[in-house]
Amino acid sequence: MTDTRVDVRTGTPTNTIESTQRHVKAFLNPYNRMEDYIYHLAHYMFAAGCRSENVDQFTKFIDIVASMDWSATPTLDTGNVAK
């Protein structure tokens, strides 16, 4: 019999939480895990979502970029660029 504990806030079994934590930790840079960890976590979540949907990551990324409303994006300030 296995000991199944559940997170009281989410109802998720702690085995699932610990397994996901182990996969995320393995995905991070082993030498400097604090280096831009938010980017790496977002990348892991994006890759995991693509795997669960069985879609190519690059194709999904291009679809996201193509569907964005770029008119609302501020332009780069090129006033300080050396000529």
In a domain, 33, yes or no: yes
Q: Determine, yes or no, domain membership for 67.
A: no
Is 83 inside a domain boundary?
no
Q: In degrees to the nearest 10, what's the CA dihedral of 7, 11, 13, 18?
A: -50
* Token pair for 49: 């979502």
The percent of residues in the chain predicted with pLDDT above 90, rounded, is 24
> Is 68 a member of any domain?
no
Residue 76 lies in a domain: no
Give the list of residues 6+ apart from residue 41 with CB closer than 8 angstroms, or none. Answer: 24
Q: What is the tens place of the pLDDT at every residue in 53-83? A: 999 999 999 999 999 888 877 777 766 655 5
12-21 confidence digits (pLDDT tens)? 776 766 777 7
Crossing angle between the packed helical segments 37-53 and 14-27, to the nearest 10 degrees: 110
Query: Per the domain annotation, does 10 fall within a domain?
Result: yes
Count of domains for the chain: 1
Whether residue 78 lies inside any domain: the answer is no
**How confident is the model over 34-42, as a mean pLDDT?**
75
Residue 79 lies in a domain: no
| Domain boundaries, position 43 | 1-58
